[in-house]
Structure formats: structure tokens, C-alpha cells
A and B are shown apart, each in its own frame.
Chain A
Amino acid sequence: MNDNNTMLEVKNLQKFFPIKSGFFGRVVGQVKAVDGVSFSIERGKTMGLVGESGCGKTTVGKTILRLNSKTGGEVYFNGKEIFGLGNAEMLKMRPHMQIIFQDPYSSLSPRLPVGEIIGEAVREHQIVPPNEFDDYVTRIMQACGLQEYHKDRYPHEFSGGQRQRICIARALALNPDFVVCDEPVSALDVSIQAQIINLLEDLQKEFNLAYLFISHDLSVVQHISDTVGVMYLGNLVEFANKDEIFSNPLHPYTKALFSAIPIPDPTVRRNRIILEGSIPSPANPPSGCKFHTRCTYAMERCKVEVPVQLDKGNGHMVACHLYDDNSGSEKQPETDEASFRAIGEQYDKANENKTESNPA
């Protein structure tokens, strides 16, 4: 896996948050926010990471940037284990991997002018010589759709979309190889979403960026991603390239999730898969396959045995006993693949129309 094209490789990443209680802060339990996640991202590619709220998407994003400590597993960035780096080395590594936050309001310091917000880290890491500093910041701002005179303004003078552009400019000013986009558009209205998505795509082409695009908005993920991972309760249940996963979702959870994508065509009949109950607490996850409490195909085995990632061809990984050849069960999901494919195609078309009608 360590070929030159792989930029980020995550192996069995775990991140548990301790639950403390009592006067002395005794650890009484652990929230298993990320419980063994493995994936990799190639240079210049985008990986979409989808899942319900609270399934650990954001924690994955922050942990692979070492903004959290990890509990277990490894994260290789350009072949280096980032948790093995010293503080000084880590500081040098920082500019290569950036993050864009969900909330553009809280992610900008209210007391600094925009030019300073964007340029501060540039100066800190001496990305450009001091005499080129102003021009460089201007260039980055213009690339992100901001004007030079915005430099002296303060975040409160900007709208949500502009703020998100500032966040993107801040991340890109460091000339990164890899950007974690932590639901960068979910706080924005749809027209601005399209602008930002297009901006991210343009910048990706221009600077050859790799993205980890975390979202719960499947249509956006479908639009931007090259590969898609589906998370459920701290686990990556399915991982495949975009076309494969949208046309042929294997995991029952993925199927349920994808069936919830709204289709902007009232004539199409939809086969919604309604999941019963709500997501279990990550502090006390179900045994075996974590999805078995809500899975329509749950078997006795699911309650006991933790499913392993199975390669079903073309790098399509799925963690489900249904596809375990040794399971003895040949029972296939009832939802037929053809209908999913149809849904996916229609959705694609609708999405393209929407993006084109709202040029950035």
C-alpha cells in the first residue's frame, strides 16, 4: 500500500473518549467514537465519509490530523506515522494537512482581521519570503473568491459563505497536500453550498489537493468524491469508489442510508428502507455487528461475531456477515440492485442541473 500515489493511510484507527465521574474523575467507561477504521486516500483524490450524526466522522477527521490523541491504530501521512513525530516535527508537518470546519462562524477568531487570519500561519511557517507575503495572501484570497480589500476587515463583516471562503483560504495558504473538509457546506444555504463545492473542486485541480470530505449530505458526497466510506457507530462498514458504492451498495446500512436520498422527481416511486429505532450509544455499543439492533437481515451470528472487512472486488470493502462466504447463508438483500442504480442515475442528473444553475 505504500506506493507513491497513496498520501494518507489509516490503519485500524481507534479513538475512545473516557467517561469520567466522581470527585477524582475516575474513568467509568469509554465512548468508542472511532473503533477500528482503516482507509487510504490517494494524492489529488477525494474520499467522502458519510454516516449519521454521532457516528464518529468528525473524530476521524480530527484524529488523522492529530488534533486529538489516538487510542490505537496508525495514521501514515506520506509514509510517516504522524503520532510518532515529535512536537517540532509535527509543527513542520502541520502545513501539509489542513482542515476546514463545519461552522464558519466559530472557526474564525473575531478579533483578528481577515488578512491576519489567513496570513498568520503563512508567516509562522515562512511559506513565502516576507517581501512576497502580501502578494501571496492576496493571490490566495482571490483564488478563494475574496477581494484584496477584505484583508483589513473583521470576520463579523462577512456572510457565512464568505467566511467559509476565508476558512478555505486559511487552509490553502499553507500550500497543503491534504485537506479534511469537515462538513464544510452543511451550515450554508444550497446556492452557497454549490459555490463552495465548486470552489473546492477548482482548487483541487489547481493545487492537486487530496480531500477527506466528511458529510452527511450524500448528494454532495456523490458529486465530489472519488471514493466513499460509510461509517456506523465508529466503524467503517463499507468502502468503495463512488460509482461502485452508489450503484451497488452492499451493506444493509448503506442501502438504508442511500434510500433516504431525496429525489427531485415526484413521479419516481421510492423504496425507502426505514430503520427502526435510533443509533445506539457509542459508550455502550451492541455486541457483534454494531448494526444488528436495527438491521432487517440480522442473524444470530451478527449478535456475537464482529464482521471483518471483506473485499468484494474493485476495492469494494464491506463489513457484513451477509457477504461472508463462510457464513453459509446465501440470503441476499431483498432490495434489488437495479432500482438502486436507477435512483443513483436520476440523482446524478438532478444534482448536475442544480450545480449548473448556481454558478459560483
Chain B
Amino acid sequence: MTENKTFHTDPDEVKDPNAIQPEIHLDDVQRVKVLSPTMLVLKRFLRNQLAILGLAILIFMFAFSFLGGLFSPYRQQQVFRKYELIPKEYAAAAINKDLRYIVQTGENFSGPSLAQFVLAKNKGEPVFSAGDRDYSYTEKGEDFYLISELKVLTDVIVLAGNGRFTPAAGVELTEDFQTAALEALKSSQTAFEYGDDEYFISRNGKMNTISVAHEIALATKLVFAAYEPEAQPLLNSLDFVEQAQLALINDADSFAVGGVLYRIVIDEDSAIIYRSQDDEDHPFASVSNIIVNPISPDIFLSVDFKRTLNEAIAEGKTTFTAVTQNGTEETFTINRVHETYTVYAQRTSQLIDMYAPPSNEHLLGTDGNGMDVLTRLMYGGRISLLVGFVVVFFEVILGVLIGGVAGFFGGIIDTILMRIVDLFNSIPFYPIVIILGSVMDTLKVNPYARIFILMTVLGLLGWTNIARVVRGQILSLREQDFMVATEATGIRISRRIFRHLVPNVMPLLIVQATLALGNIIIIEATLSFLGLGVKYPIASWGNIINAATNLHVMTSYWYVWIPAGILIVLTVLGFNFVGDGLRDAFDPKMKR
């Protein structure tokens, strides 16, 4: 009754003589403002400053979560990207230590033949065979070999200075050739020249075999690079490389291939080949012992670039400036690993804007997936609060139904239902939920379906507390005289439950539900933090904090996870303040 005292002193009504009727008793004063129990509770609640603070927090959280998403310019799963200059691999260079083979068009010289050549070269044997073919090679200069395939022309048996020729099928031998061959045989030569061709002799006892050499490949350690892309095919042709190489070996300053004159200018480690055309020299190719290749086929490396690179490598520089194929001058960096040099160019590239610090665009920065943290927090709040409400709603429905039935009917029904409650209470909560989470992980359950399963399980495991409270309250209410009075006055059972019992259970239920809400939000956050609750890409406050499991993120990017933590703490505090406030308001006797 003390709550009403403030209303007793309304001077106007007290002094109005007509308002007071003679038969009114002292405590019946009509001026006392009528307050229903609900209004009284509301008044007491609003007078509780902590509860108001909690309410304010909750209102903010709801506005933030449910309205914030509408005002946020970004979507929940919008990934932000940025353009940045990053060193990108542009070309690779290596000092050539291996022989490079240029094979005659239409011929095959590879695999086993190459291996046999290397073996023969190391042994110093001029002839080698691979498969059913025979080859020979001649060393024309340092690290420059011409490889020929031998074609058997004829077998010769020399008897007392005379040779008996047995030509291979389809081969006709001229007299002059026979004479030249016989002379070579007599002087025990292994090779002789006749006309333009070179012939090889191999002996097997009295049997000599004369073969003709047919150039199929050359091996060199020099690297030819074209000035123009059009020059490239020519640089891969055996003829050109052979002529150029021979000219280099012979210190000649020009050579001709296909009727075109090429001039050579030697410059320290490398040489430049100019193509003379219309009495003008055009740079055609460069020769060096460094292989330079672009990283991707759409990049053409100019000879100038290669020459600059060669110089830079020779001088041991790490950066150099060169003109690219687009005609712009760029600075390149060289990274050396053993004999291999990688050239990097600064290129703008699209990147996911990870862990961007707070800015006007992203007030709380971006997370590890390049998503806006503030927007994620808004949508995460939706999920967290929604999960809390749905689960508590589910718990209240189950708890009131089961607790109410147990309390109202009592006896054997009560015993059975309470044993079911005990059963549910003895289920270890976290193991069940964690196992369920991993099962859903294994089954790759859709993230949206996960939320519903999570809510159902949390509700199923959590209703027992409310059922117990409701049952206890109803058991005590049932024995109260006013419930006996409803029976005595013959009021229907349904009306007794809904008009008399339920309103008296409501206060307790509201308090329990409010406190349970805070609890559910913590459980949801815990599970999501452990990666077992709400899953990426759906945001929830718990899985936003999950970023802090990475030590680097935890120490360097506070703005990714601290705000989510603050929101959880504030929300749970808010629910607890409001719950405590409601409890105090419903029960005025409980004063601190």
C-alpha cells in the first residue's frame, strides 16, 4: 500500500466535499487512484534504475540488430575488395648451363636420343645410337655440336685393295663416290667428305658400312632472343642458329641465311645480330648465355629488356629499369635463388580487403573475409537475439505445459512428468551439443538448417527449469484458499487455470524467461565460437568472436572481435538487469 501514498495528497480532490460520501470509511477514500497489479509492477519496474538501464540496452540492441541491417549500406555477406600495387612475377632468368637443342623442322630428336648424345659426348665417341637409329655428332666449337642422323648407304668389303660395294635398297653409287670411299677406307679414316656431304665409316671386322650424315639438330649453350616477335620462328630454325653460331665461332662479322645478310656486333658477354635490309641494319636478335623467359605467354620480352636484365644480373643489382612491350618505363626487382633470377613487376591487383582498419567506409573495419564488421554485427545480433527468443519461447511453451499439467493434476501424473524432467536434466548439455555440432559438420548441413536444429535442441534441453518452477508455483497456488474458493464457487477447470492460475504464474514465468534469454544468448555465442553453432557465412556474435582464436588476429585486429564481445556482454547484462528488475517489481517484499 505504500506505493499509493504519493497519490493520497491530491489537494483538489481532498477538499471537494461532494467527493466524500458520509458512509465512506477511512481507508476507502475514493481519491485513491486505482492501480491494477500490472500497473503497480510497471511503476515499481520503472523506478528501478538498473532495470531501466537494462531496458535501454535491450532497446538499443534490438534497434541495432533489427533496424540496423535496414540502414546499413552493405549486405551481410558482401565481400570488399581493394586494388593494390603488389610485386608480381614478370619474367624468370637463369644462366644457361645446359645444352639447348634446336631440332630441324620435321625431325625427331628427343628423349633417349638426347640421353645417348650426352653419354657419347662425355665418352668422346663420335657416333652413338638410340633405338634402331645411328647418330653422329661433330664439335664445331666450344659447347656447340652439330648432330646428324646416319643413313646406311652401302656395305663395303675390302679385299686386297679392291672394294666390293653392296648398296642399300634404292641407293645407287657413282664411280667417283666409290673411289673416294675406297681411298678413305684404305687410309683407315672414319669419315670422309664427298661433294657437300660428309660420310661416316664404321667397321665390323672386314665389313665396312658407309653412312651419310644428315643434320637433324644442334646443341648449344648460347641463347638467342628475338627483338621482334616475328623473328622468333627464325631463331628456332636449325639453319639460322647454325650459321650464326659458326659466324660467332669464326669471329666473322656477318653471315647470310636464306639470302639475307646478318651482321654481328659483339659486346662483352653478348652479341647482337642485325638484319641488313635495304642497306639498313635492324636489330634482329641477341645472343647470350642467359635464358630469359616471360612468366605468362602474353608477355613479350624485348631484347632491350633482356639486355638490361643481363647487365643487371652481371652487376649483381636487385632493381633495374626497362621499357616494357607497352612502351612504358617500369622498375623491376630481381630476386635471386641460386642461379635462377625472378623478375618482379609492380602490378595493380584486386585483393580481398581483409582486416581493413576502421575508416569512414567501414566504421569497424573488415574481417578476415573482407566483410564489413559493423554490418556483420547487425545481422549477427538478429540471429543471436532471434535464437534466444525462439528457444525461450519454445522452452516456455514446453515448460508451462508440462509443469502446469504436473502441478495442477499432481499425483501420479506429477511423478511421471517430474521423472521425465529429471531425465532431461541429467543429459549432459555440452557434450550433446558439441557432438551434434560435429555430426552436422560431417553431414555438411546447410547453415540455415543448422540454426533451426540448434534452436530445437537448445529448447529441448532447456525447458526443464521452467517446468520445475511452474510446477512448484502451481502446486503452491493450488493449495491457496483462493483456488479452493474457485472450486467451491463451482468455476470451470479451464477458467480456473486461465483466469486464476496462469496470471499468478505469469510474473515468475516472465522473470524466468528473461533470465533464460541472457543464458541462451551466451550458450549460442559459446557454441558459435567453438564453431558448432551458427556457421559462416551466416553471422552471429559468437562466430564473429571466433576470429580471436587466431593469435595474430587477436593481437593485431581488435576491431574485428572486441565489438562482438562487448555486444554480448551488454545484451546479457541488459537481460539480467531487466529480469532482476521484473523480479523485484513483481515481489515488492524482496527489497535489497
- A pairs with B: yes
Q: State A98–B488 Cα separation when bound (angstroms).
A: 6
A94 with B489: in contact, given A154-B36, A156-B1 (CB under 8 Å)?
A: yes
Binds B, one of A49-57, A119-127, A316-324: A119-127
Q: List the B residue with the shortest CB-CB distance to A122.
A: B489
Measured between beta carbons, the chain B residues less than 8 angstroms from A92 are: 490
Find out whether the CB atom of B488 lies under 8 angstroms from the CB atom of A67.
Answer: yes
Among B480, B481, B499, residue most surrounded by chain A Cβ atoms (within 10 Å): B481
Residue-by-residue, is B162-178 near A (CB-CB < 8 Å gives 1, otherwise 0)? 00000000000000000
Point out the residues of chain A lying under 8 angstroms from B490, CB to CB: 90-95, 121, 124-125, 174
Q: Among A6-14, A132-140, A145-153, which stretch is in contact with chain B?
A: A145-153
- Which of the candidate stretches B24-32, B222-230, B333-341 sits at the interface with the other chain? B24-32
Select one of B28, B481, B491 contacting A147, CB under 8 A: B28
CA distance A174 to B295 in the complex (A): 101
Q: Contact between A156 and B491 (Cβ–Cβ < 8 Å)?
A: no
In the complex, are the beta carbons of A120 and B489 less than 8 A apart? yes
Bound CA–CA A90/B488 (angstroms) = 10
By secondary structure, the B interface counts as helix
Chain B residues with CB below 8 A from A102, complex form: 481
B106 within 8 A of A: no
Tell me the bound Cα distance from A67 to B30 in angstroms.
Answer: 37
Task: From the candidates B35, B40, B482, B488, name the one contacting A109 in the complex (CB within 8 A).
Answer: B482
* Chain B residues closer than 8 Å to A120, beta-carbon distance: 489, 491, 495, 499
**What are the interface flags for B1-45 relative to A under an 8 Å C-beta threshold, 1 for contact and 0 otherwise?**
100100000000000000001011001101010111100100000
Contacts of A111 in B (CB 8 A): 37, 503-504
Tell whether, in the assembled complex, residue B489 and residue A157 are in contact, meaning their CB atoms are under 8 Å apart. no
B499 touches A112 (CB 8 A): yes
Cβ-based interface call for A103 (8 A): yes
Which of A91, A125, A157 touches B32 (beta carbons < 8 Å)?
A157
Please name all residues of chain B whose beta carbon is closer than 8 Å to the beta carbon of A171 when the two chains form the complex.
Answer: 489
Chain A residues within an 8 Å CB radius of B118: none
Residue in chain A with minimal CB distance to B490: A94
- Extra A-B contacts (19), CB below 8 Å, given A109-B482, A174-B490: A95-B490, A98-B488, A99-B484, A99-B488, A103-B481, A106-B480, A107-B481, A107-B485, A110-B504, A111-B37, A120-B495, A121-B486, A125-B490, A147-B28, A150-B28, A154-B37, A157-B34, A159-B27, A171-B489
Q: Which of B21, B415, B482, B492 has the most CB of A within 10 A?
A: B482
Complex: A90 Cα to B489 Cα, angstroms: 11
Taking a contact as CB atoms under 8 Å apart, the answer to whether B485 and A170 are in contact is yes
Please tell me if the beta carbons of B37 and A153 are within 8 angstroms of each other in the complex: no
Using Cβ atoms and an 8 Å threshold, which residues of chain B touch A110? 37, 504
* B487 within 8 A of partner (CB): yes
Let me know if B362 is at the binding interface, CB within 8 A: no
B406-418 interface mask toward A, CB cutoff 8 Å, 1 = contact, 0 = none? 0000000001000
Q: Given the known A-B contacts A110-B504, A111-B504, A157-B32, are A170 and B489 also in contact in the complex, defined by CB atoms under 8 Å?
A: yes
Q: How many Å from the CB of B187 to the closest CB on chain A? A: 123
- B478 contacts chain A at the CB level, 8 A cutoff: no
A154 to B39, CA, bound (A): 11
Return chain A residues, CB-CB under 8 Å to B481. Answer: 101-103, 106-107
Q: Is B214 an interface residue (CB 8 A)?
A: no
A109 and B504 in contact (CB under 8 A), knowing A125-B490, A154-B37?
yes
* Residues of chain B lying within 8 A (CB to CB) of residue A106: 480-482
- Residues of chain A within 8 A (CB-CB) of B121 are none
From A92, which residue of chain B is reached at the shortest CB distance? B490
> Does B36 contact A124, Cβ atoms closer than 8 Å?
no
Residue A302 lies at the interface, judged by CB distance under 8 Å to chain B: no
- How far, in angstroms, from A99 to B480 measured CA to CA in the complex? 14
Tell me which residues across on chain B come within 8 A of A307, comparing CB atoms.
Answer: none
Closest partner residue, chain A, to B411 (CB atom)? A25
B489–A153 CB distance below 8 A: no
Is B450 interfacial (CB-CB < 8 Å)?
A: no
In the complex the two chains form, what is the Cα distance from A113 to B503 in whole Å?
Answer: 13
> Assuming the A-B contacts A106-B481, A110-B504, A147-B28, are A65 and B37 also in contact, with contact meaning beta carbons closer than 8 angstroms in the complex?
no
Q: Does B500 contact A (CB under 8 A)?
A: yes
Kindly list chain B residues whose C-beta atoms are within 8 Å of the C-beta of A113.
36
B4: contacting residue among A97, A147, A157, CB under 8 A: A157
B489 contacts A98, C-beta separation under 8 Å: yes
CB distance A65 to B488 under 8 Å?
yes
Residue of B nearest to A110 (CB): B37
Chain A: minimal CB distance from B63 (Å): 32
In the assembled complex, the CB of B590 is this many whole angstroms from the nearest CB of chain A, namely 16
Q: Which residues of B contact A198 (CB under 8 A)?
A: none
In the complex, A108→B23 CA distance in Å?
24
Q: Is the CB of A152 within 8 A of B34?
A: yes
User: Once the chains are docked, how many angstroms separate the CA of A150 from the CA of B25?
Assistant: 12
Residues on the B chain within 8 Å of A208, using CB: none
The contact string, 1 if C-beta is below 8 Å from chain B, for chain A 139-182, is 00000000101101110111100100001001100100000000
A124–B489 touching, CB < 8 Å: yes
A102 to B482, CA, bound (A): 11
Chain A, residue nearest B25 (CB): A162
Pick the residue among B24, B487, B495 that contacts A67 (CB under 8 A): B487
State whether A94 touches B482 (Cβ < 8 A): no
- Show 30 A/B contacts (Cβ-Cβ < 8 Å), sorted by A: A25-B415, A67-B484, A98-B489, A99-B488, A101-B485, A107-B485, A108-B482, A109-B503, A109-B504, A112-B499, A112-B500, A113-B36, A120-B491, A120-B495, A121-B486, A121-B490, A121-B491, A124-B492, A147-B23, A150-B28, A154-B34, A154-B35, A154-B37, A156-B1, A156-B37, A157-B1, A157-B4, A167-B485, A170-B489, A174-B490
Contacts of B503 in A (CB 8 A): 109, 111-112
CB B34 to nearest CB in A, in angstroms, measures: 5
Complex Cα spacing A134 to B551, Å: 74
Contacts of B35 in A (CB 8 A): 154
* A153 partner, pick from B21, B23, B34, B484, beta carbons under 8 A: B34
Asked if A147 and B24 make an inter-chain contact with CB atoms under 8 angstroms apart, the answer reads yes
Q: Which residues B438-495 have CB closer than 8 A to chain A?
A: 480-482, 484-492, 495
| CA distance in complex: A170, B481 (Å) | 13
CB distance from A146 to the nearest CB of B (A): 9
Known: A25-B415, A67-B484, A147-B24. A109 touches B500 (CB 8 A): yes
- Measured CB to CB, the nearest residue on chain A to B24 is A147
